Chains A and B, each alone.
Chain A
Amino acid sequence: MNQIHVDSDLLAYLDGELDAAARDRVAAHLASCPQCADELAELRRLRAELRATFPAALTPVRLPAAADRRIREQLRTRTGRPRAWWALWQWRGVAAQVTLTLLVLFFVASTGLLPSAAPAVAAPPETLILGQTQFAPGSQAALRVVVRQPGAATPVPGAEVSVSLAKAPGLAKLVYQGRTGTDGTAPVAFTVPADLEGAAELVVETRAPGGDSRISRPITIARRVKLYLNSDKPAYRPGQTLHLRALALDAVTFQPVASAPLVLEWVDAAGQLSARRTVTTSEFGIATLDFTLPATVPTGTLTLRATLSDTVAERAVVVDAYELPAFRVTWELGRTFYGPGERVTGTVEAAYFFGQPVAGAAVTLRGYTAEPQPALAAEVTGQTDAQGRLAFAFNLPVGYGRETVAPQPFTVELSVTDTAGQRVGLRRELAITDQALVIKAIPESGRLKPGVENRLFILAATPDGQPTAATLRVTVNGQTSELATDAYGLAVLRFTPPAGSTQITLLAQGADGTTGHVDLTLKAESQPQTLLLRTEQAAYTVGETLRAEALTGAAGQTVYLDVVHAGQTVAALAAPAQEGRATFALDLDGTLVGTVELHAYALLADGSRVEDTRLVMVDPPQRVAVTVTADQARYHPGETAHVQVQTTLSPTGEITPTVLGISVVDESVYALETLPPGFVRAYLLLEKELLARRSQAPGLDLPALTSGEAALRAAQDTAAQAAWAGASGTAYTLSARATAVATPAPARTARASALGWLVALLPLLLTATVVNGLRPTGLLGPALRRTGWGLLAFFLAAPCLLAALFASRLALRVAQGIFLVALAAASLLLLALLIHGWRRRDVRVQLVTGLLVTYLALGSLLVVTTGRALSGPLAGLIAVAHLLTLGALVLLSQGLVLEGKRVGWLAALLAFLLALLALWLPTVVDSTLTRAVGNPVLYAGPAGWLSGCGAAPTEAPPAQAPATEAPATTEALAGVTAAPTGVPLPTATPVAPAVEPYPLRQLFPETLYWAAEAHTDAEGRLALDLPLADNLTTWRLTALASTQAGELGVATYDLVVFKEFFVALTPPATVAVAQPVTVTLTLYNYLPQAQTVRLTPVPADWYTLLTAPEPVTLAPNAVTTTTFTLRPECAGTFSLRVDAAGERMSDAVAVEVAVGP
């Protein structure tokens, strides 16, 4: 028994703080020691009392509130927490939820989906559109868009206007975005995308405070071209080869249209389409084709036709078994009009085409009256002198043409027969009238415009239409003024006509004392309002400024001026009329070359318009000057002419390489060609209508109008203005008027952008949530890595994938049904994620899905309602934010997958679906926002972004380049041969006879040389070696030059081929087997001495000579004929050769003779 008391351990024993040994020891002692047991009991009690007393005494003790506040304050100053933030922080959760809910409600309410929406504040405005449905790719275009209040017709300023062109639904290209000015019109000007061609949709959307409107119209985007078609000759014989050349220039820029399929065809006189061939144009816009006319082609007018896209150019040539004239006859008459009984005087001149005068030719001149029936009224005969001239005179019948309303025609026929019996006939009509001067008055607008100053062009002309200088006495409504016409017979009278009719009396006195008189009643236009447009000039050069003024009766009205070029509005100007006058200025650049139409108009309250149209011509700043020089003045047959062609740009003198279309044709063929050189440029620059209107001012000379001489041009300008007065111009093919759909919220744009910002910021929040949710699990890094690799793989594949999608047009032509299916699938996925989040208590997924739902809800709201009001940059921001959302979703999915949650793949699938839905979105709702979000480039990875994400919303990559190297398709090939594009060989290659002492002449082409596309060197030079054929004639060389910049020029040059003695052999047109044939030989001797010529038909198997030609003695400058007879023995084509051996000079000629059965 241990008697040592353990009282000092008892407390620890009670508290259980003793180790096992001590505890056992104490327990053992307590069992044996009652004293210690008592002690323990007492201690236990005390302990229990203390345990109760201490809390009872101290637990109610709390730090006094004042001290608490003081200490807390002290601590806060130490820890530095702002109190306001702390208060806010206490309520942050509630605030966030309330704010989000309020925001959603606010935006839903503001978009008018709830009935509590504010009532409309303004009446819906109306939108008027004027333009053309034809557009040229890559060109500048404009559109008139006017937003105004209906009824009062007050303009609505500040209305948003956006114009887009859509090739297919959802593929719209925004081409213009802006606001209307104080005049209610927006300066809609844009460049038509160059890659857009074919049928398309033009969408004009306007947003005004009172409402929105959307006008959509089908348009055609097609390259417009100007075609100039020419052939080597104006007339052909059956069996000849026709050389065709077409020059295609862009109607807008006047640049050559290269690599375009151009269809060349010809229709014969019977209306039969005989051949068609598609030729690809060269880089200079030239297409060329040669074909041989069949021997059986019907004679008459052959129509050549060139077609490029919608443009057709035609040219008529004559097909006939013609005989070329032996010489050229020109005749001059003193006047082309005469008074009754007057004496007609004139001269006739005849010259052979090789330059020698036709001396001693018999001339017969007969005059016929036409009324009441054709009757011979005069006859003159005579003989030409050594120079080939003859002066003649005869009197007109006294009573013919007197006191008639219109000039009476008097036909004069002329017949010239040379000493060889070759005859050439001409016919001309004279105008016979006692009215000496014809006076015409042309109001500058075609009709008088009442109330504003009009210009009246007064034309004084001779009865045959030739303008003449005259003094004029003009009486307008009782007021008389004196005027004088200029060299082109024009005078300009300025006056302000009243409404209704205006009486004008015109008295003219010509320089030679002739007089004219006319009384006119001109009716003024009866529109409710007047508008008269006037330009300073009729013709301009690129670089000049076109100034126009519109005169209107009403003050303060907006006058609109549309500039139309090549059928397309290129500028839409507007100016307020101040003091009845609105002025416009337009800088003319290279895109306006050609005819420019100016449409001025004012809009009336009922949507109709008063208008006036003027046409002006804009000349390119430069033209090509072509200079042709030859090494000799005259050539002998068979010689080679060395011709130099030099092209420079005029007026700068700059040297430029050009391409030349060169033809060298026998001048005798040009008997029918009436178009003067230089016409080509005018033809291409002017509209057909203006060309036709030349007759309105006969003094107008188109080549002169476009010439560089200032004085000539100024005078011609008035003539042009007179000629083109009242030309109607292009009609507005696109005209629309729409009243806006009322929108309830006036400040919707601000709200839309606020909503836009919210939608753009939500993805940030989403991404932050995902990142922060993954970070604590330590899986952020691996998830990021996985996402990164995945994105890299996607970025590498995306461009190909997208290209494939677009190539198949699969992604674009998606039906709305498929869109809805995708939408449903996405919604299901979202729901699955939401359920997962709640069931697995995964707060991150909960939060992400919550944010995603909010984002999608607000985003859809934005797209459906106010998306169109968004600005481009904000839309772009939202598009980027959408990418961020997708990225965050993918990241979350990878994080979840790494955590072993398979639901992660659902998130990835959702991201993919959201991307697809965004791609398809523009097909469902088309707006700036959807185009930005649905821009395929956005999903094409960095390669796509670099290739144009920063630019305007772009189209799909072009699916396929058009096949430029399409093989030529031949539908009907009747003697068509492919045309060489280079410099072709001359059609005639002289074959030098081996033994003859004098050269045999046997090749007589009408076209000596044809090169459709001859390129000059860098200095603009081209050297031509032309081996001349055996014709004794003048070859007319025509060089038509065009540059790659579209400048044009033309020149002609005559090459004379001559020989002092030669013989011409003319077999009859029809030769039959066994029928005796008389062959005529014409001998020309221009040697200074007379000589006797022995003529020997060279024997051949195919004929038997019946009578041989007699030797002929020729005086100097003598032309005579002789004949011989032969009988063909067999059918076929044979050569008939005659040698003419002279004492001083000999000749030998061979021609082809076709012997029929």
Chain B
Amino acid sequence: MCYTTFELFLWPTHVINSGKWTEAQVALTTQPWIHRLEHSGRSLLHALAARGLDQLCRLLAFAAREEGSAGQEIPTADLIARFQRGQPRAFELLYDRFRHYVYRIALFITRDEADAEDAVQETFMDVLKALPHYDLNGPARFETWLYRVTVNRCRSRHRRKVLPSEEWDAVEERLERLPLPDLEGDPEGTFLDRERATALWRAVDALTEEHRTVLLLRYQQDLSYEEIAQVLSINVGTVKSRLFNAHRKLKLGLEGMQS
């Protein structure tokens, strides 16, 4: 996605409304020299204590964005860095990027819509509080850190709830409504059988929270063992055994269901 300033102005309204607009802006305003420029601009103009000039500087920064290096994905680290340099807008962009992931984790763990929403809010509040001190050069990815916060938040909520919510049931129902597989298009037979998937989901649901979380991180969030270990604050061996056990119990559960 390479935009020149003038192309941006040629965009039709629906593109702008679709949210691509913000993405494009973000893409254009995350170049390193722009960060420095904005930062230095701030320090320069803060001295003048003039918010209007600050805005002017932003306008400049926007207009002066460099083209050609904007990738598909905006580095999360850049957003964090911008937030840490005092741009509150960057946090909203982080939120935009991770809100659904966090919600999925929260709903999966808490199985309750309201709890999940609260967990999301609490998570992001925690992140907002902790992000200024987040070490970008640390060993952990931001995602693993975010999921750990999420998981911790959810665990503290999950303990208080027993029954799954409607939203959680809707997840299972969605699996039941999966379209019939196109047999010819899937010669290896790896297609997802509607019933098999539902059964599998039920088996997952029957697992302990510990095992479900490991599976979620592994198969939904696609984390490595190492990352899972970081999210859950356990060692890799435990992750390995916990995953093995989860699979074993899942297999047993499925067999039990079939029998």
A: residues with CB less than 8 A from B are 8, 11-12, 15, 17, 42-43, 46-64, 67-68, 70-72, 74-76, 78-81, 85-86, 89-90, 92-94, 96-97, 765, 768-769, 771-773, 775-777, 841, 843-844, 847
The yes or no answer to B158 lying at the interface (CB within 8 A) is: no
In Å, the complex CA distance between A51 and B22 comes to 32
Question: Judging by beta carbons under 8 Å apart, are B100 and A61 in contact?
Answer: yes
Separation in Å of the B157 CB from the closest CB of chain A? 15
Separation in Å of the B34 CB from the closest CB of chain A? 7
Q: Which residues on A sit within 8 Å (CB–CB) of B247? A: 11, 43, 46-47
Q: Which residues on A sit within 8 Å (CB–CB) of B70? A: none
The yes or no answer to B99 lying at the interface (CB within 8 A) is: yes
Q: Which residues on B sit within 8 Å (CB–CB) of A78? A: 125, 128
The yes or no answer to B238 lying at the interface (CB within 8 A) is: no
Query: Known: A55-B220, A81-B89. Contact between A772 and B99, CB under 8 A?
Result: no
User: 24 A–B contact pairs at CB < 8 A?
Assistant: A11-B244, A12-B243, A46-B247, A50-B219, A52-B190, A56-B192, A57-B175, A58-B104, A58-B216, A60-B174, A61-B103, A67-B103, A67-B117, A75-B91, A75-B125, A75-B128, A92-B58, A92-B62, A93-B59, A772-B40, A772-B60, A772-B64, A776-B35, A847-B63
The yes or no answer to B164 lying at the interface (CB within 8 A) is: no
Which partner residue on chain B sits nearest A78 by CB separation?
B128
Query: Known: A58-B104, A773-B64, A841-B67. Contact between A765 and B92, CB under 8 A?
Result: no
Q: Which residues on B sit within 8 Å (CB–CB) of A75? A: 91-92, 95, 124-125, 128
Question: Judging by beta carbons under 8 Å apart, are A92 and B67 in contact?
Answer: no
Question: Judging by beta carbons under 8 Å apart, are B192 and A52 in contact?
Answer: yes
Which partner residue on chain A sits nearest B62 by CB separation?
A93
Question: Judging by beta carbons under 8 Å apart, are B32 and A96 in contact?
Answer: no
Partner of B68, one of A12, A17, A48, A841: A841
Query: Known: A17-B225, A81-B88, A92-B59. Contact between A70 and B125, CB under 8 A?
Result: no
Query: Which 10 residue pairs spanning A and B have beta carbons closest together?
Result: A776-B33, A79-B88, A776-B36, A63-B103, A54-B219, A67-B117, A54-B220, A52-B192, A775-B40, A50-B219
Separation in Å of the A1091 CB from the closest CB of chain B? 113
Partner of A93, one of B9, B32, B172, B218: B9
Q: Which residues on B sit within 8 Å (CB–CB) of A771? A: 44
In Å, the complex CA distance between A773 and B37 comes to 7
Question: Judging by beta carbons under 8 Å apart, are A96 and B40 in contact?
Answer: no
The yes or no answer to B97 lying at the interface (CB within 8 A) is: no
Question: Judging by beta carbons under 8 Å apart, are A61 and B57 in contact?
Answer: no
The yes or no answer to B49 lying at the interface (CB within 8 A) is: no
In Å, the complex CA distance between A843 and B8 comes to 15
In Å, the complex CA distance between A768 and B57 comes to 8
Dominant secondary structure of chain A at its interface with chain B? helix
Query: Known: A43-B247, A89-B55, A843-B65. Contact between A48 and B190, CB under 8 A?
Result: yes
Separation in Å of the A430 CB from the closest CB of chain B? 98
In Å, the complex CA distance between A70 and B99 comes to 12
Q: Which residues on B sit within 8 Å (CB–CB) of A53? A: 175, 192, 197, 200-201, 204, 219
Q: A71-B117, A93-B8, A769-B60 are in contact. List 20 more A-B contacts (CB 8 A).
A: A12-B243, A15-B225, A42-B251, A46-B247, A48-B190, A53-B219, A54-B215, A56-B174, A61-B107, A61-B167, A63-B120, A64-B117, A68-B99, A89-B55, A96-B59, A768-B57, A775-B40, A776-B35, A776-B36, A843-B65
Which partner residue on chain A sits nearest B250 by CB separation?
A46
Separation in Å of the A344 CB from the closest CB of chain B? 103
Separation in Å of the B87 CB from the closest CB of chain A? 9
Interface residues in B172-214 by Cβ distance below 8 A to A read 172, 174-175, 178, 190-192, 196-197, 200-201, 204
Partner of A11, one of B120, B190, B191, B243: B243
Taking each of B9, B25, B56, B64, which has the highest tally of chain A beta carbons within 10 Å of its own beta carbon?
Answer: B64
Q: Which residues on B sit within 8 Å (CB–CB) of A92? A: 55, 58-59, 62
Which partner residue on chain B sits nearest A39 by CB separation?
B251
Q: Which residues on B sit within 8 Å (CB–CB) of A42? A: 251
Q: Which residues on A sit within 8 Å (CB–CB) of B192? A: 49, 52-53, 56
Partner of B197, one of A49, A765, A769, A847: A49
Which partner residue on chain A sits nearest B225 by CB separation?
A17
The yes or no answer to B156 lying at the interface (CB within 8 A) is: no
Separation in Å of the B16 CB from the closest CB of chain A? 9
**Per-residue contact bits, chain B 155-172, to A (CB 8 Å; 1 contact, 0 not):** 000000000000100011
The yes or no answer to B113 lying at the interface (CB within 8 A) is: yes
Separation in Å of the A596 CB from the closest CB of chain B? 58
The yes or no answer to B81 lying at the interface (CB within 8 A) is: no
In Å, the complex CA distance between A93 and B55 comes to 11
Interface residues in B71-121 by Cβ distance below 8 A to A read 88-89, 91-92, 95, 99-100, 102-104, 107-108, 113, 117, 120-121
Question: Judging by beta carbons under 8 Å apart, are A769 and B64 in contact?
Answer: yes
Query: Known: A49-B200, A54-B216, A80-B88. Contact between A772 and B57, CB under 8 A?
Result: yes
In Å, the complex CA distance between A418 and B114 comes to 151
Interface residues in B201-259 by Cβ distance below 8 A to A read 201, 204, 215-216, 218-220, 224-225, 236, 240-241, 243-244, 247, 250-251
Separation in Å of the A1103 CB from the closest CB of chain B? 110
Taking each of A52, A54, A768, A773, which has the highest tally of chain B beta carbons within 10 Å of its own beta carbon?
Answer: A54
Question: Judging by beta carbons under 8 Å apart, are B37 and A57 in contact?
Answer: no
Separation in Å of the A734 CB from the closest CB of chain B? 52
Q: Which residues on A sit within 8 Å (CB–CB) of B91? A: 75, 79
In Å, the complex CA distance between A50 and B32 comes to 40
Question: Judging by beta carbons under 8 Å apart, are A71 and B121 in contact?
Answer: yes
Which partner residue on chain B sits nearest A10 by CB separation?
B244
Q: Which residues on B sit within 8 Å (CB–CB) of A76? A: 92
Partner of B100, one of A12, A54, A63, A843: A63
Taking each of A8, A59, A61, which has the highest tally of chain B beta carbons within 10 Å of its own beta carbon?
Answer: A61
Question: Judging by beta carbons under 8 Å apart, are B171 and A57 in contact?
Answer: yes
Question: Judging by beta carbons under 8 Å apart, are B37 and A775 in contact?
Answer: yes
In Å, the complex CA distance between A973 and B224 comes to 119
Q: Which residues on A sit within 8 Å (CB–CB) of B61? A: 772
Question: Judging by beta carbons under 8 Å apart, are A50 and B200 in contact?
Answer: yes
In Å, the complex CA distance between A94 and B11 comes to 11
Question: Judging by beta carbons under 8 Å apart, are A52 and B120 in contact?
Answer: no
In Å, the complex CA distance between A76 and B103 comes to 19
Query: Known: A92-B58, A772-B41, A841-B68. Contact between A8 and B220, CB under 8 A?
Result: no
Query: Known: A79-B91, A775-B36. Contact between A74 and B121, CB under 8 A?
Result: yes
Which partner residue on chain A sits nearest B205 by CB separation?
A57
Question: Judging by beta carbons under 8 Å apart, are A843 and B88 in contact?
Answer: no
Partner of A50, one of B8, B41, B215: B215
Separation in Å of the A835 CB from the closest CB of chain B? 15
Q: Which residues on B sit within 8 Å (CB–CB) of A94? A: 9
Q: Which residues on A sit within 8 Å (CB–CB) of B174? A: 56-57, 60
Separation in Å of the B55 CB from the closest CB of chain A? 7
**Per-residue contact bits, chain B 19-61, to A (CB 8 Å; 1 contact, 0 not):** 0011001000000111111001100100000000001111111
In Å, the complex CA distance between A1 and B86 comes to 63
Question: Judging by beta carbons under 8 Å apart, are A71 and B9 in contact?
Answer: no
Q: Which residues on B sit within 8 Å (CB–CB) of A8? A: 241, 244
Separation in Å of the A43 CB from the closest CB of chain B? 6
Q: Which residues on A sit within 8 Å (CB–CB) of B120? A: 63, 67, 71
Which partner residue on chain B sits nearest A58 by CB separation?
B104
Which partner residue on chain A sits nearest B90 by CB separation?
A79
Separation in Å of the B238 CB from the closest CB of chain A? 12
Which partner residue on chain B sits nearest A772 by CB separation?
B37
Partner of A17, one of B36, B66, B107, B240: B240
Q: Which residues on B sit within 8 Å (CB–CB) of A11? A: 240, 243-244, 247
In Å, the complex CA distance between A94 and B125 comes to 33
Question: Judging by beta carbons under 8 Å apart, are A58 and B108 in contact?
Answer: yes
Question: Judging by beta carbons under 8 Å apart, are A72 and B92 in contact?
Answer: yes
Question: Judging by beta carbons under 8 Å apart, are B95 and A72 in contact?
Answer: yes
Separation in Å of the A767 CB from the closest CB of chain B? 11
Which partner residue on chain B sits nearest A74 by CB separation?
B121
Q: Which residues on B sit within 8 Å (CB–CB) of A64? A: 113, 117
Q: Which residues on B sit within 8 Å (CB–CB) of A60? A: 174
Q: Which residues on A sit within 8 Å (CB–CB) of B33? A: 776-777
